Amino acid sequence: MNPKIAILGGGYAGMAAAVELAAAGAAVTVFEAGKVLGGRARKVVLDGREVDNGQHLVIGAYGELLRLMRLAGVDPVAAYLRQALELVVEPGFRLACPNLPAPLHLAAGLLGARGLGMAARWQLIRAIRSAQTAGWVLATDCTVADWLAQQHQSRNLVARFWQPLTVAALNTPLEKASAQVLLNVLRDSLGGARSASDLLFPKVDFSALFPEAAAGFVLARGGEVRLGAMVKSLRRTESGWAVGEGDERYDAVICALPPHRAGMVLRDLPRLMVLAQQLEHWEYQPIVTVYLQYDPAVRLPRPMTGLADSPAQWVFDRHYSHATPGLIAVVISAEGEHTHWSREVLIAAVERELHLRLQLPAQAQWRGMIAEKRATFACVPGMQRPINKTAEPGLWLAGDYTAGKHYDYPATLEGAVRSGVAAARELMGSELWESIR
């Protein structure tokens, strides 16, 4: 007997769970409300141009994502432009880790950081060293702003290094962001092997990078992937789980919906009412991506450049990764003043910044913008994140917002994938799995 498993949501978490279960012989059915797979990391078409719903960055530490891509038949060497860490934040800051064995690469990188005076460089080294010595664990979680104050980091150092790094990694303003989760990211990137901090720029869109290949893997093993399949409810019946009003019954369910949607679908299950309420009121942070098409001859000196104290926080030249000359993606993470600006005002401000600070032409030939209001969960201190297992036998949660023994990340692709794998493995380790095989 092949266990019949329903997976709700075809984002990175759902598709990771689907691949893991299909590989173990389960009959998997994925229900995805959208027309494309990938969820918050998916292909979109803007004025006839194929882009992503947001420019994402992957790092070498994303080991589970890379493993599952290989399993689904995607070669990460071909799928990414891979570069050793180089963080350039204008004006003038540059941190690059040379090709030395860990932790020498980090020590050399910090010592050689440009754009900081000697005092700031030592402040930075001391802060990272003290976190490393404490095993990257804080006695009590606090905001990044408070932790930086405790570490006596200067204003200049915060503006050029900590601010762009924290907002990019946690998508939460420094005054609200969890210092512990930031340290978790540093532990596995800067604090890991040299290759863990490599920057991986996908060469294909985010639906093709993993979810579509994962769907192919599932279909080849007799599973199903239903697009445009919005799940409104979930019921437990005597013969198994019922998804919506459908007649099929499933032995188990992995709910890989974003938290507010999961809350709506789970709210009628008596054992999960409190959890469902918590999920329905989950706090999010936005991300805006502005795409600007310039003349194809326009080029930035590297794939990614940060701008300190600017609404245009990180600027990506997609020529390097996607072979689309002149197409620039600008990422504006987290809430801020810009949240209240109109689309036109924000695009104009970004265009002006690129002109004044990166010497790009004053006017782009084409402009597009995607605002994701619920891009990631607000990554605040002391968050109560649910685990995969729920109080309902046969029902597990997966998604970037969950946390478990093997993952404690902010909202990331790696966090989503690890969560999907963890949910699938818990299911496969359960008595239920034994009883249905």
Ligand X SMILES: Cc1cc2nc3c(=O)[nH]c(=O)nc-3n(C[C@H](O)[C@H](O)[C@H](O)COP(=O)(O)OP(=O)(O)OC[C@H]3O[C@@H](n4cnc5c(N)ncnc54)[C@H](O)[C@@H]3O)c2cc1C
Q: Which residues bind ligand X (CB under 6 A)?
A: 8-14, 31-34, 39-41, 53-54, 56-57, 230-231, 256-258, 261, 265, 287, 289, 372, 375-376, 399-400, 411-414, 416
* C-alpha to C-alpha distance for 389 and 277, rounded to whole angstroms: 17
Instruction: Identify which of residues 37 and 124 has a Cβ nearer to ligand X in the complex.
Output: 37
Closest separation between CB of residue 158 and ligand X, Å?
21
Contacts of 73 (CB under 8 A, 6+ apart): 213, 216, 217
Closest separation between CB of residue 152 and ligand X, Å?
30
* Of the candidates 90, 95, 155, 93, the residue with the CA atom closest to the CA atom of residue 306: 90
Instruction: Identify which of residues 372 and 426 has a Cβ nearer to ligand X in the complex.
Output: 372
Closest separation between CB of residue 43 and ligand X, Å?
12
Instruction: Kindly list the distances between the CA atom of residue 387 and the CA atoms of 125, 198, 275, 415, in Å, as whole numbers in the listed order.
Output: 35, 29, 11, 13
Extract the tokens encoding 224: 């199903």
Q: What are phi and psi of 10, to 5 degrees?
A: -110, 40
Is 190:52 a contact under the CB 8 Å cutoff? Answer: no
* C-alpha to C-alpha distance for 312 and 378, rounded to whole angstroms: 20
Closest separation between CB of residue 104 and ligand X, Å?
27
Pairing of strands 199-202, 4-8: unpaired
User: 289 - beta bridge partners?
Assistant: 331, 370
Instruction: Kindly list the distances between the CA atom of residue 331 and the CA atoms of 93, 114, 296, in Å, as whole numbers in the listed order.
Output: 19, 24, 20
Instruction: Identify which of residues 53 and 313 has a Cβ nearer to ligand X in the complex.
Output: 53
Closest separation between CB of residue 373 and ligand X, Å?
9
Is 159:313 a contact under the CB 8 Å cutoff? Answer: no
Instruction: Identify which of residues 210 and 433 has a Cβ nearer to ligand X in the complex.
Output: 210
Residues composing the chain: 437
Is 251:262 a contact under the CB 8 Å cutoff? Answer: no
Closest separation between CB of residue 359 and ligand X, Å?
26
Closest separation between CB of residue 52 and ligand X, Å?
8
Is residue 397 within a helix (H) or strand (E), and if so which, with residue range? strand 395-397
Instruction: Identify which of residues 34 and 216 has a Cβ nearer to ligand X in the complex.
Output: 34
Instruction: Identify which of residues 193 and 264 has a Cβ nearer to ligand X in the complex.
Output: 264
Instruction: Identify which of residues 153 and 172 has a Cβ nearer to ligand X in the complex.
Output: 172
